[in-house]
């Protein structure tokens, strides 16, 4: 999965696999989470959001099953 660095006070990197509907978010504290079953339009809206942190809190947090990835 390709990830992209983003300008955000909450997130540092975002990746998305459309075929698996898998969203990968790396936060400023270096924790990384995968969110399952995320539609492509949610990813697009996140990428286009003026505040990615606010969009995450409003449209992603608590709405999708997720798993933390081990930190390296």
pLDDT tens for residues 6-36? 999 999 999 999 999 999 999 999 999 999 9
> Residue 64 belongs to what domain range?
3-69
As a whole number, the mean pLDDT across the chain is: 96
Query: How far does Cα 16 stand from its chain's mean position?
Result: 8
SS3 (DSSP) at 35: strand
pLDDT at 60 over 90: yes
The encoded tokens of residue 16 equal 């998305």
Q: 60: which residues sit within 8 A by CB, 6+ positions away?
A: 23, 25, 35, 38, 42, 46
pLDDT at 63 over 70: yes
Give me the percent of the chain exceeding a pLDDT of 70.
99
Q: How many domains, in total, are found in the chain?
A: 1
Give the pLDDT confidence score for residue 14 in this predicted structure.
98
The encoded tokens of residue 15 equal 């990746």
Give the pLDDT confidence score for residue 72 in this predicted structure.
65
Strands 22-27 and 11-17: antiparallel
């Amino acid at each position: 999965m390709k990830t992209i660095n983003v300008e955000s006070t909450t997130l540092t990197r975002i990746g998305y696999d459309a075929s698996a509907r898998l969203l990968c978010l790396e936060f400023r504290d270096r924790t990384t989470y995968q969110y399952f079953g995320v539609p492509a339009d949610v990813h697009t809206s996140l990428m286009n959001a003026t505040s990615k942190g606010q969009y995450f809190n409003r449209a992603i947090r608590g709405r999708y099953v997720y798993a933390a990835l081990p930190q390296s």
